[in-house]
């Protein structure tokens, strides 16, 4: 018999919902392999807009996110889930009114938890280890709206072990607000942006330099895959596990930074709101490839939601 599990990721930039069926098998590995996604949706709600300047979640951003969460709760009820859990990340960790927003989420009938950066990195590590399952060590880069996690894992006795993880307090929302003032951006703005994040990424590299692979997560890098492979409408299965070379990442960085936001919005693969912040996201991956001296990055469409799901299955059935 299958149990139906719903996981909601309340991010700084987007709010995503996943429903999966899990079939209980004889071993934990077989049970994990039985996971079947039934429903998946994500909406850009930009919960963390203007957070860096004010220290607070803005009322309009909270209302927009709560409206999406209300919709997700109605979908969850229609599916008669056995388990539903929401996780909130950097925006709620950082905002002075983060806990007040969480109470409003609970009032919708959703069990929600603000997770620390270590747990966020752990969930993304699980999603990468099981979702991509590379044949050697990897560094997972989970670029979010308000924070970016790096997790280093090595394979020992056929299983991945998380060796190091770091969470940096920058994401595409804050970086865009801090550095990009012109449209299209000036070269000097992009240079300053990359110099700023490079100082952080070097710290990750010092702990993780032995890695064989880089694996990228998040809406920016999956959008680049959709652009490079001409995938439209978006298709998770076609995007997942694709590779991007350093040259391809640099090509899109150069091309998209030469366009205005309005021009970027005309590209079918780029969502309207993502057009405003995508350059900061590309800068993170471009700089990571440079610092780690890698020629390519593997792209995963699995992220926090799948990691939280895997964590639930391991705890429930092991």
Per-residue pLDDT tens for 105-117?
Answer: 999 999 999 999 9
Q: What is the pLDDT of residue 37?
A: 94
pTM above 0.85, yes or no: yes
My answer on whether 20 and 142 are in the same domain is no
45 and 85: one domain? yes
Together in a domain, 205 and 84: no
pLDDT of amino acid 317:
87
Q: What is the three-class DSSP state of 313?
A: helix
* CATH assignment at residue 34: 3.30.420.40
Q: Are 41 and 154 members of one domain?
A: no
Residues 98 and 156 occupy one common structural domain = no
Residue 188 lies in a domain: yes
Verify that 96 and 145 share a domain, yes or no: no
Half-sphere exposure of 181 (CA within 13 A, CB side): 5
Residue ranges of the chain with per-residue pLDDT less than 50: none
Q: Where are the beta strands (DSSP E) in the chain?
A: 2-10, 14-23, 36-44, 83-88, 112-114, 138-143, 148-156, 159-168, 213-217, 243-245, 296-299
User: 246 near 295, Cβ under 8 Å?
Assistant: yes
Residue 76 belongs to a domain = yes
193 found inside a domain: yes
CA-CA distance, 22 to 20, in Å (whole number)? 7
Cis peptide before 184 (omega within 30 of 0): yes
pLDDT at 158: 83
Residue 132 is predicted with a pLDDT of 95
- Smallest CA-to-CA distance from 285 within 184, 175, 179 is with 175
**Residue 231 falls inside a structural domain:** yes
Q: How many domains does the chain have?
A: 2
Domain end residue (candidates: 69, 84, 116): 116
Residue 20 structure tokens: 């999966």
285 shares a domain with 179? yes
User: Which CATH number fits the domain that encloses residue 218?
Assistant: 3.30.420.150
Q: Print the domain residue range for 32.
A: 2-116
């Amino acid at each position: 018999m299958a149990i139906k599990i719903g996981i909601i990721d309340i991010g700084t930039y987007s709010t995503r919902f996943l429903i999966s069926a899990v079939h209980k098998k004889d071993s934990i590995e077989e049970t994990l392999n039985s996971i079947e996604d039934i429903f998946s949706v994500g909406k850009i709600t930009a919960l963390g807009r203007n957070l860096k300047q004010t220290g607070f979640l803005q009322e309009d951003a909270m209302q927009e996110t709560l409206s999406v969460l209300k919709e997700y709760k109605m979908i969850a009820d229609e599916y008669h889930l056995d388990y539903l859990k929401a996780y909130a990340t950097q925006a709620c960790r950082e905002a002075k009114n983060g806990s007040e927003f969480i109470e409003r989420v609970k009032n919708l009938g959703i069990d929600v938890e603000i997770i620390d950066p270590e747990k966020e990195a752990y969930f993304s590590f699980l999603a990468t280890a099981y979702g991509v399952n590379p044949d050697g060590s990897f560094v997972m880069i989970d670029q979010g709206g308000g924070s970016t996690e790096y997790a280093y894992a090595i394979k020992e006795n056929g299983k991945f072990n998380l060796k190091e993880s770091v969470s940096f307090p920058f994401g595409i929302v804050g970086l865009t607000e801090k550095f990009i003032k012109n449209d299209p951006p000036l070269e000097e703005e992009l240079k300053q942006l990359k110099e700023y994040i490079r100082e952080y990424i070097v710290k990750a590299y010092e702990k993780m330099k032995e890695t064989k692979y880089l694996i990228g997560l998040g809406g920016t890098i999956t959008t680049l895959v959709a652009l490079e492979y001409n995938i439209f409408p978006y298709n998770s299965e076609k995007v997942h596990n694709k590779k991007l070379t350093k040259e391809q990442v640099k090509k899109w960085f150069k091309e998209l930074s030469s366009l205005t936001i309005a021009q970027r919005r005309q590209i079918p693969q780029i969502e309207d709101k993502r057009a405003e912040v995508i350059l900061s996201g590309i800068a993170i991956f471009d700089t990571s490839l440079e610092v780690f001296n890698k020629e390519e990055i593997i792209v995963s469409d699995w992220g926090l939601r799948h990691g939280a799901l895997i964590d639930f299955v391991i705890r429930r059935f092991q």
